Protein backbone atom coordinates (compact mmCIF):
# COMPACT_ATOMS: atom_id res chain seq x y z
CA UNK A 1 0.00 0.00 0.00
CA UNK A 2 1.33 3.44 -0.92
CA UNK A 3 0.22 7.04 -0.37
CA UNK A 4 2.23 9.53 -2.41
CA UNK A 5 1.88 13.28 -2.69
CA UNK A 6 2.35 15.47 -5.77
CA UNK A 7 2.29 19.16 -4.81
CA UNK A 8 0.38 21.44 -7.19
CA UNK A 9 2.16 24.71 -8.03
CA UNK A 10 -0.60 26.94 -6.55
CA UNK A 11 0.78 28.36 -3.28
CA UNK A 12 -1.21 31.14 -1.61
CA UNK A 13 -2.73 32.50 1.59
CA UNK A 14 -5.54 29.91 1.51
CA UNK A 15 -3.60 27.03 -0.06
CA UNK A 16 -0.35 27.13 1.94
CA UNK A 17 2.44 25.54 -0.13
CA UNK A 18 -0.19 24.45 -2.69
CA UNK A 19 -2.77 21.69 -3.09
CA UNK A 20 -1.66 18.15 -2.25
CA UNK A 21 -2.65 15.71 -4.98
CA UNK A 22 -2.55 12.17 -3.60
CA UNK A 23 -1.75 8.95 -5.41
CA UNK A 24 -3.17 6.12 -3.35
CA UNK A 25 -1.93 2.78 -4.57
CA UNK A 26 -2.15 -0.92 -3.90
CA UNK A 27 -0.41 -3.49 -6.08
CA UNK A 28 -0.24 -1.98 -9.55
CA UNK A 29 -3.45 0.07 -9.19
CA UNK A 30 -3.62 3.70 -8.20
CA UNK A 31 -6.37 6.27 -7.50
CA UNK A 32 -5.79 10.02 -7.73
CA UNK A 33 -7.37 12.27 -5.10
CA UNK A 34 -7.70 16.05 -5.55
CA UNK A 35 -5.95 16.71 -8.86
CA UNK A 36 -6.14 20.44 -8.09
CA UNK A 37 -6.58 23.40 -10.44
CA UNK A 38 -6.14 23.08 -14.20
CA UNK A 39 -2.38 23.48 -14.63
CA UNK A 40 -0.77 21.60 -17.55
CA UNK A 41 2.55 21.00 -15.80
CA UNK A 42 0.73 19.55 -12.79
CA UNK A 43 -1.27 17.17 -14.98
CA UNK A 44 2.00 15.97 -16.51
CA UNK A 45 3.58 15.59 -13.05
CA UNK A 46 0.65 13.42 -11.93
CA UNK A 47 0.83 11.24 -15.06
CA UNK A 48 4.57 10.84 -14.55
CA UNK A 49 4.10 9.89 -10.87
CA UNK A 50 1.56 7.22 -11.86
CA UNK A 51 4.26 5.70 -14.07
CA UNK A 52 3.48 2.21 -15.33
CA UNK A 53 0.69 1.57 -12.84
CA UNK A 54 -2.99 1.33 -13.79
CA UNK A 55 -5.03 4.37 -12.78
CA UNK A 56 -8.52 3.28 -11.62
CA UNK A 57 -10.21 6.47 -10.39
CA UNK A 58 -9.95 10.24 -10.09
CA UNK A 59 -11.65 11.55 -6.95
CA UNK A 60 -12.28 15.05 -5.54
CA UNK A 61 -12.78 15.69 -1.80
CA UNK A 62 -14.93 18.73 -2.68
CA UNK A 63 -15.57 21.07 -5.57
CA UNK A 64 -13.52 24.13 -4.57
CA UNK A 65 -11.32 25.62 -7.31
CA UNK A 66 -8.03 24.52 -5.76
CA UNK A 67 -9.09 20.84 -5.56
CA UNK A 68 -11.45 19.69 -8.29
CA UNK A 69 -11.17 21.38 -11.73
CA UNK A 70 -8.32 19.19 -13.08
CA UNK A 71 -10.35 16.04 -12.25
CA UNK A 72 -12.27 15.76 -15.53
CA UNK A 73 -9.34 16.59 -17.85
CA UNK A 74 -7.06 14.17 -15.96
CA UNK A 75 -9.66 11.38 -15.95
CA UNK A 76 -10.19 11.85 -19.68
CA UNK A 77 -6.46 11.61 -20.28
CA UNK A 78 -6.24 8.43 -18.14
CA UNK A 79 -9.49 6.91 -19.41
CA UNK A 80 -10.97 6.42 -15.91
CA UNK A 81 -14.15 7.64 -14.16
CA UNK A 82 -14.39 10.70 -11.90
CA UNK A 83 -15.86 10.18 -8.42
CA UNK A 84 -17.30 12.94 -6.22
CA UNK A 85 -20.16 13.91 -3.94
CA UNK A 86 -21.82 16.02 -6.61
CA UNK A 87 -21.17 18.45 -9.45
CA UNK A 88 -19.61 21.88 -8.95
CA UNK A 89 -17.97 24.65 -10.95
CA UNK A 90 -15.66 22.95 -13.50
CA UNK A 91 -16.41 19.52 -11.98
CA UNK A 92 -18.76 16.78 -13.13
CA UNK A 93 -18.49 13.38 -11.44
CA UNK A 94 -19.26 10.24 -13.46
CA UNK A 95 -19.99 8.42 -10.22
CA UNK A 96 -21.59 10.14 -7.23
CA UNK A 97 -20.38 8.88 -3.89
CA UNK A 98 -21.72 9.58 -0.41
CA UNK A 99 -20.99 8.58 3.17
CA UNK A 100 -19.79 4.98 3.46
CA UNK A 101 -19.30 4.38 -0.26
CA UNK A 102 -16.13 2.58 -1.27
CA UNK A 103 -13.80 2.91 -4.24
CA UNK A 104 -11.65 -0.21 -4.77
CA UNK A 105 -7.91 0.23 -5.35
CA UNK A 106 -6.03 -3.05 -5.77
CA UNK A 107 -6.99 -5.28 -2.84
CA UNK A 108 -8.00 -2.29 -0.67
CA UNK A 109 -10.79 0.26 -0.57
CA UNK A 110 -10.96 3.99 -0.19
CA UNK A 111 -14.00 4.68 1.99
CA UNK A 112 -15.85 8.01 1.83
CA UNK A 113 -16.76 9.85 5.03
CA UNK A 114 -19.16 12.77 4.50
CA UNK A 115 -17.72 15.71 6.42
CA UNK A 116 -19.74 18.88 5.75
CA UNK A 117 -18.60 22.13 7.36
CA UNK A 118 -15.79 23.53 5.20
CA UNK A 119 -18.23 22.92 2.35
CA UNK A 120 -21.52 21.00 2.26
CA UNK A 121 -20.14 18.56 -0.35
CA UNK A 122 -16.94 17.68 1.49
CA UNK A 123 -15.75 14.07 1.72
CA UNK A 124 -12.79 12.67 3.65
CA UNK A 125 -11.48 9.20 2.78
CA UNK A 126 -10.07 6.45 4.94
CA UNK A 127 -7.43 4.18 3.42
CA UNK A 128 -5.96 1.53 5.72
CA UNK A 129 -4.92 3.52 8.83
CA UNK A 130 -4.83 6.85 6.96
CA UNK A 131 -7.40 9.62 6.68
CA UNK A 132 -7.23 11.85 3.61
CA UNK A 133 -8.82 15.03 4.88
CA UNK A 134 -8.97 17.48 1.94
CA UNK A 135 -9.77 20.86 3.53
CA UNK A 136 -11.49 19.39 6.61
CA UNK A 137 -8.15 19.33 8.43
CA UNK A 138 -5.15 21.15 6.97
CA UNK A 139 -1.48 21.20 7.88
CA UNK A 140 -0.50 24.57 9.24
CA UNK A 141 -3.50 26.78 8.55
CA UNK A 142 -7.00 27.37 9.86
CA UNK A 143 -9.88 25.82 7.94
CA UNK A 144 -12.39 28.30 6.52
CA UNK A 145 -15.90 27.17 7.50
CA UNK A 146 -19.21 27.44 5.70
CA UNK A 147 -21.18 25.96 8.63
CA UNK A 148 -19.67 25.90 12.13
CA UNK A 149 -22.15 23.38 13.60
CA UNK A 150 -21.67 20.92 10.76
CA UNK A 151 -17.92 21.43 10.89
CA UNK A 152 -17.72 20.55 14.58
CA UNK A 153 -19.98 17.52 14.09
CA UNK A 154 -17.71 16.38 11.24
CA UNK A 155 -14.66 16.70 13.50
CA UNK A 156 -16.35 14.40 16.02
CA UNK A 157 -17.09 11.96 13.19
CA UNK A 158 -13.48 11.70 12.01
CA UNK A 159 -12.23 11.55 15.60
CA UNK A 160 -14.35 8.44 16.13
CA UNK A 161 -12.79 6.66 13.12
CA UNK A 162 -9.63 5.98 15.12
CA UNK A 163 -7.20 6.56 12.23
CA UNK A 164 -3.45 6.82 12.86
CA UNK A 165 -2.26 9.35 10.29
CA UNK A 166 -3.71 12.37 8.52
CA UNK A 167 -2.94 13.24 4.90
CA UNK A 168 -4.28 16.79 4.47
CA UNK A 169 -5.21 18.67 1.31
CA UNK A 170 -2.63 21.34 2.17
CA UNK A 171 0.53 21.08 4.27
CA UNK A 172 2.40 18.09 5.65
CA UNK A 173 1.18 14.70 6.80
CA UNK A 174 0.43 14.45 10.51
CA UNK A 175 1.08 11.47 12.77
CA UNK A 176 -0.90 11.00 15.97
CA UNK A 177 -4.20 11.75 14.21
CA UNK A 178 -6.22 11.44 17.43
CA UNK A 179 -4.29 14.26 19.09
CA UNK A 180 -4.48 16.43 15.96
CA UNK A 181 -8.26 16.03 15.71
CA UNK A 182 -8.71 16.62 19.46
CA UNK A 183 -6.67 19.81 19.03
CA UNK A 184 -8.97 20.97 16.20
CA UNK A 185 -12.06 20.36 18.34
CA UNK A 186 -10.50 22.19 21.28
CA UNK A 187 -9.50 25.10 19.02
CA UNK A 188 -13.04 25.49 17.61
CA UNK A 189 -14.65 25.38 21.05
CA UNK A 190 -12.09 27.87 22.40
CA UNK A 191 -12.73 30.31 19.53
CA UNK A 192 -16.45 30.05 20.13
CA UNK A 193 -15.96 30.82 23.83
CA UNK A 194 -13.67 33.74 22.96
CA UNK A 195 -16.43 35.18 20.76
CA UNK A 196 -18.97 34.89 23.58
CA UNK A 197 -16.46 36.38 26.05
CA UNK A 198 -15.68 39.30 23.73
CA UNK A 199 -19.37 40.15 23.40
CA UNK A 200 -19.74 39.83 27.18
CA UNK A 201 -16.81 42.21 27.58
CA UNK A 202 -18.40 44.87 25.36
CA UNK A 203 -17.66 44.03 21.72
CA UNK A 204 -20.95 45.09 20.14
CA UNK A 205 -20.47 44.44 16.43
CA UNK A 206 -19.00 41.74 14.22
CA UNK A 207 -16.08 44.05 13.43
CA UNK A 208 -15.36 44.63 17.13
CA UNK A 209 -15.45 40.88 17.77
CA UNK A 210 -12.92 40.37 14.96
CA UNK A 211 -10.70 43.05 16.55
CA UNK A 212 -10.64 41.09 19.81
CA UNK A 213 -10.71 37.44 18.74
CA UNK A 214 -8.65 37.68 15.54
CA UNK A 215 -6.35 40.55 16.57
CA UNK A 216 -3.35 38.54 15.30
CA UNK A 217 -4.48 38.13 11.68
CA UNK A 218 -2.73 40.15 8.96
CA UNK A 219 -4.75 42.65 6.93
CA UNK A 220 -5.05 40.33 3.91
CA UNK A 221 -6.86 37.75 6.07
CA UNK A 222 -9.22 40.22 7.77
CA UNK A 223 -12.10 39.39 5.40
CA UNK A 224 -11.62 35.67 6.10
CA UNK A 225 -11.58 36.30 9.86
CA UNK A 226 -14.80 38.35 9.55
CA UNK A 227 -16.37 35.46 7.62
CA UNK A 228 -15.30 32.99 10.33
CA UNK A 229 -16.85 35.17 13.06
CA UNK A 230 -20.14 35.47 11.16
CA UNK A 231 -20.25 31.69 10.60
CA UNK A 232 -19.56 31.02 14.27
CA UNK A 233 -22.14 33.62 15.34
CA UNK A 234 -24.70 31.88 13.12
CA UNK A 235 -24.12 28.69 15.13
CA UNK A 236 -24.50 30.65 18.39
CA UNK A 237 -27.65 32.32 17.01
CA UNK A 238 -29.16 28.90 16.23
CA UNK A 239 -28.29 27.80 19.77
CA UNK A 240 -29.99 30.96 21.13
CA UNK A 241 -26.81 32.17 22.81
CA UNK A 242 -26.64 35.48 20.87
CA UNK A 243 -28.95 37.68 18.85
CA UNK A 244 -28.12 39.91 15.87
CA UNK A 245 -29.48 43.29 14.83
CA UNK A 246 -31.80 43.08 11.84
CA UNK A 247 -30.26 42.88 8.40
CA UNK A 248 -27.62 40.82 6.65
CA UNK A 249 -24.67 39.76 8.78
CA UNK A 250 -21.65 41.93 7.95
CA UNK A 251 -18.91 43.81 9.82
CA UNK A 252 -21.36 46.37 11.25
CA UNK A 253 -24.02 43.86 12.36
CA UNK A 254 -24.74 44.40 16.05
CA UNK A 255 -24.48 41.40 18.34
CA UNK A 256 -25.64 40.85 21.90
CA UNK A 257 -25.68 37.94 24.28
CA UNK A 258 -28.95 36.30 25.22
CA UNK A 259 -28.98 36.15 29.00
CA UNK A 260 -29.14 32.67 30.50
CA UNK A 261 -32.08 32.11 32.86
ZN1 LIG B 1 -11.85 23.99 0.01
Which tens digits make up the pLDDT trace of 147-184? 999 999 999 999 999 999 999 999 999 999 999 999 99
Comparing 212 with 261, which gets the higher pLDDT?
A: 212
Range name among 72-81, 148-157, 248-257 with the lowest pLDDT average: 248-257
pLDDT reported for residue 139? 84
CA of 35 to the centre of ligand 1 (A): 13
CA of 66 to the centre of ligand 1 (A): 7
Q: What are phi and psi of 225, to 5 degrees?
A: -65, -40
Of these residues, 26, 34, 66, 101, which one is catalytic? 66
Residue 261 has pLDDT above 60, yes or no: no
CA of 87 to the centre of ligand 1 (A): 14
pLDDT reported for residue 76? 98
CA distance 255 to 154: 27
* Catalytic residue flag (residue 66): yes
- Under 8 Å between Cβ of 182 and 149: no
Residue 145 has pLDDT above 80, yes or no: yes
The band of 142, judged by pLDDT with boundaries at 50, 70 and 90, is confident
CA of 169 to the centre of ligand 1 (A): 9
Q: Which residues of 214-251 are buried (b: 16+ CB within 10 A; e: fewer)?
A: beebeeebeeebbbbbbbbbbbbbeeebbebeeeebee
Amino acid sequence: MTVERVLAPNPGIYTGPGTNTYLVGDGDEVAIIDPGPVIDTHLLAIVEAIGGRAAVAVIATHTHADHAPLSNPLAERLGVPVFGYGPGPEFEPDVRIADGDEVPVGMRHLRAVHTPGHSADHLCFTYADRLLTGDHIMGGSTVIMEDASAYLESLYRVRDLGVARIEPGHGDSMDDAGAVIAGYIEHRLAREQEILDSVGAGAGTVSEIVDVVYSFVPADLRAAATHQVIVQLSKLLAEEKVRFSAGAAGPSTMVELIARQ
